[in-house]
Chain A
Amino acid sequence: MKEMAETKPPAAGIRGWQIALLAVILGLIILFYKGLWGNPSYIPPVLVGTAAPEITAPDLYQPKEVSLSQFRGKVVVLNFWASWCQECKLEHQNLLAIQKRFAQNPNFVLLGVNYQDKEDLAREYLQEHGNNFEHIRDVKGRISIDYGVYGVPETFVIDQNGMIRHKQIGPIIGETYTFLVERMIEPLLNGTATAS
């Protein structure tokens, strides 16, 4: 009996391995779960926190070139849209509201980028749904690829130093609208935004 009491319990040596193995399997299950239930068409934004690529593109209405650098020192909201995009229609009135809300602030610019669209259709769309801000045309898709855009609508918030602070995939509606206005644009304009 004394001998038996002194010997190590048989399970004690394995327990460490069991825990390690369980942790590895659990980790893999979590990874697979995330992979299976995540949106397969979602591309994580990689440009947030980096300098916004320069843009030079024709204005949708006037015969002039518009460049992003001319807005340096201002908060720029860059919205990619198209006349054939259904979700763009959902957010359009909110974009007009954003422009109306900050129109008096000289440090705010809302710039629309017309994506994979025809010029006349884009103009018709704006005539039908209303317009109160400037739009440029992404003629060869260079701007949208430079910004890693893969669908519309997509919206970028660029700070006074030309850094991309936020990328919104999908329409600016509901909580997204509130977040964009109250948590992104206003703090940047007031100088109370925290570094991302």
Chain B
Amino acid sequence: MNTPMTDPPILDLAHSEIEELLPWYANGTLTVAEKATVEQHLDYCLTCRMNLEQCDAFATLVHQPDEETWRPPAGHFNRLMAEIDRLATPPASIQSAKARPSLLQQMMDWLWATPSPVRWTLAFESLAVAALAAAVWLPMSPTAETSYETLSRGEGHPTVTAIQARVVFADLLTVGDLQTLLDEIGGQLVAGPSVLGVYTVALAPGDSTPATALSHALAVLRAHPQVRLAEPLPEVKTP
């Protein structure tokens, strides 16, 4: 008699291989071919029938109605979602590293967070400090070429000093008297005082001749009560 086409194929499995399949024969998850093979083997194998009984008994036991079950405790899902939200939010350290505001931005934020009176006071003080700093620094900036001169080599000094006189002033002579005296003779201090207290006065002749200017100057100087000595110097040429 021919086997119907619908009969499942019988696999060529050893006893041990079939016995290994018995737990899954018991739970009904074998393939059609495996199931047919096991069933054919069970027909004549007492050991496998005993093992199958054991598997069935285990399956029944595990499926007992009072078996342990787990039910979600109250709020379990909400806690899970909270955990998901927490993980979705990057840690604060990462956030700050990702978008750390500039120093200027931090200062602006801090400034806007302060009360208005405090803010205006700080602004005024800052402006005052800035103005002071500008006043200190601006004159020192090299805005133009500056020529430096000593009292004896100033630009306004006579370039021709052919007429000079040596003068010794009294200690009581004031600066004001000295300036008046020099204006009167048309002279300027170009050197001194020396170790002996001698000043050199250069005379500008003006419209008169040098000799006239010198004699006039000497006369005025010698007439002044605070002048102890007034002598002409030999003519000196300067560049």
A and B pair up = no
